[in-house]
Amino acid sequence: MKKRIRVTFAIILIAPLFLVLSLLAMVLGHLLLWVRLRRASEKTVHFLLDILIWWIFICLGVRVHVTGRENIPAWGKRVCYIANHQSMMDIPVLYGSGMWCGLVAKQELFRIPVLHGLLSILRCVAIDRSSLRASLKSILKGVEQIESGYPMGIFPEGTRSRTGEIAEMKAGAFKMATRPKALVVPVAMKNTRSTLEAVDSFRIVHVYVDIMKPIDTSALSEEELKTLHSDVENEIRQSFAALPGPYARR
């Protein structure tokens, strides 16, 4: 009952601003792109969505604690963020922590009106997880984005964890970073599930994010590239275990 009341109340408050700011971001973003002001378009979209994310956090009672912001690479570099996945709130938390990027997202999200346009202006890529060939095409599209200087992000577990634990990260997802020789930035996020799917009270929910040092894949040997997925997974697992909250290492 507490979850239903809290989430319903939040949706009522969030929905109007979501529609207004999303539509404004899409219109202004595309207009600036049309006159070939790409960076101005990106900054405008991010500014408007920063306001929306701030409002989402207030309405859901979320407080985000971020360490490692200094590890976010400069805009325009070839970057791929690799993060664990627990909740639908992972995306606002990722963006709210300063990691603006296109994301590889399940194709069902692109069928939702307004959200489809928002994902497009953020240069997100739809993925059909039921088809290996379609999944590869999505990864290659992400590679093109990175090569153009637009950061991308992916959740290599493939789906949200229902238990709070980190599942195995799929090696294939890392091709989006290794093909364009991008900087891989491992990201651990903890307690995002308690903000929405597993919320059980009206208290403030504390979410913890650790942005780790980038790994330059262009400097890795063939052997190091082969173990990159397991090395990054282990690094994220260790950071996740050390963060406060459920499943924290004591």
- pLDDT of res. 26: 96
- pLDDT of res. 200: 76
CA–CA separation, 97 vs 2, rounded Å? 27
- Domain boundary assignment for the chain: 68-242
- pLDDT of res. 247: 55
**C-alpha angle 157-161-166 in degrees, rounded to nearest 5:** 60
Spans in the chain with pLDDT lower than 70: 2, 246-250
- pLDDT of res. 78: 96
- pLDDT of res. 214: 97
Tens digit of each residue's pLDDT (9 = 90 or more) over 141-153: 999 999 999 999 9
- pLDDT of res. 45: 97
- Helix residue spans in the chain (DSSP H): 2-34, 38-60, 90-96, 115-121, 132-147, 175-178, 222-226, 228-242
Pick the CATH number of 68-242 from 4.10.640.10, 3.40.640.10, 3.30.9.10, 3.40.1130.10: 3.40.1130.10
